[in-house]
Amino acid sequence: MLQPRRSAALLSVSALAVVALAGCGDDANEGGKDEGSAGGATQVAITAVSGDDGDECQVDTTSVGAGPVTFTVANEDAPGITEVELLSGARIVAEKENVVPGLPEVTFTVTLGGGDYEIYCPSAVEEKIPFTVTGDAAPAPTGGPAKLLADGATDYAAYVQTQVDGMVVGVQALSDAVDSGDLAAAQQAYAEARPFYEKVESDIEGFLLPDADPTENSGNLDYLIDMRASSLDPAVGWSGFHAVERDLFGRQRITDRTRQYAVDLVTNVTALADVAKGLTFRAEDLANGAAGLLEEVQSGKISGEEEQFSHLDILDFAGNVEGAEQAFEALRPGLQEIDPDRVATISDRFDEVNQLLERYKDPSALGGYRPYTAALRKSDAPEMSRRVQALAEALAGLAEKVATA
């Protein structure tokens, strides 16, 4: 989910890691098991610090061999830096958001082919740091756990496509309801359309309109579809789901502007569906994406920031968790051969979070969950956060494990 930025959009793209990347394997990155590597993945540390001239991103190495690369991102004391992205030209290969002082370091793993990249730290004194990958990654291994993981990634791609297709139908129904002027029907349609995005947002957040600048919100489909009040860019203005939400729930009325918001939402979701057709994944994309969805729960849903007007945050919470669990289940057959103990732990943690969500189900409520009121947030947010954090910890490092299987 977008966060405020001085002049650019925050783009999240685990799924785009497959673009311009080569295959991974045990022999990837011939020099990858010496200095700067562990477990078959080259290690790169990125540290955000507050310097004399402003916030900086310090990178311990700016050149690595091709193959799986794990980036560890920590923010020591740089309040202006909230995310880090890896760029290949105009494409966002991968990113980590919510990188703020005081939080534990985070990681993401991608398999990189040779070429010139950039590490992008918005709001740093030097925002873009050249990053070079040399050589070619080894061909993807065949058979064994790697084959099972690859098959799981293919199955997951079909799940993502189903959710994207459903979102197109859902937002059209929302637009039709808004156009009719029936406030209650429009609110219901909003609640029915929202989960499609939440289940797969970490896989589809990085897509841009054709020829768009990746550092500008005006062409960023995630911004245009899912921006919220806290990430409003005055140069672009309101757009997407939450612009409609504000009118339907916050202002309790439908205007011509609301109708235009809904029409624009259909246009942008349709554009997203077009560019996402044929989307493919690596196993590490699924693991990165699952972690990203849980970060979304912590940063936007438990805080109550996501659905500021409708208070459907628990519905979104459940969507994020379902998407993360689907990614895990797609990886399960391969993971079972690699690390069965971790599979059992992750399964238990998902069960605990799902049991927590069961408490809030209410068939009579919009979206099927209790409204996430300020009172409910005050009483229950700490336990929600603990359960989600425990699950996130169980998933930590999973992307590197599957990338080097």
Q: What is the pLDDT of residues 83-110, one digit of tens each?
A: 898 988 767 788 887 788 988 888 999 9
Once rounded to an integer, what is the mean pLDDT over residues 131-135?
95
Domains, the chain, in order of start with CATH, read 24-134 (2.60.40.420), 144-403 (1.20.1420.20)
Say what angle helices 313-338 and 283-296 make with each other, to 10 degrees.
150
Rounded-to-integer distance, Cα 239 and Cα 254, Å: 15
The candidate with the shortest Cα–Cα distance to 4, out of 97, 138, 75, is: 97
Q: Rounded to 5 degrees, what are φ and ψ at 30? A: -50, -35
Asked if residue 15 lies in contact with residue 204, where contact means CB atoms within 8 angstroms, the answer is yes
Once rounded to an integer, what is the mean pLDDT over residues 295-322?
95
Rounded-to-integer distance, Cα 108 and Cα 322, Å: 21
Q: What is the pLDDT of residues 179-220, one digit of tens each?
A: 999 999 999 999 999 999 999 998 887 788 888 887 788 888
Which two tokens mark 246?
Answer: 């504000």
pTM of the model: 0.78
Q: Rounded to 5 degrees, what are φ and ψ at 133? A: -115, 125
Q: What percent of the chain shows pLDDT beyond 70?
A: 89
The candidate with the shortest Cα–Cα distance to 19, out of 191, 177, 207, is: 207
- When pLDDT is cut at 50, 70 and 90, the band that residue 141 belongs to is low
- When pLDDT is cut at 50, 70 and 90, the band that residue 377 belongs to is very high
Q: Is the pLDDT of residue 345 over 80?
A: yes
The candidate with the shortest Cα–Cα distance to 398, out of 123, 139, 109, is: 109
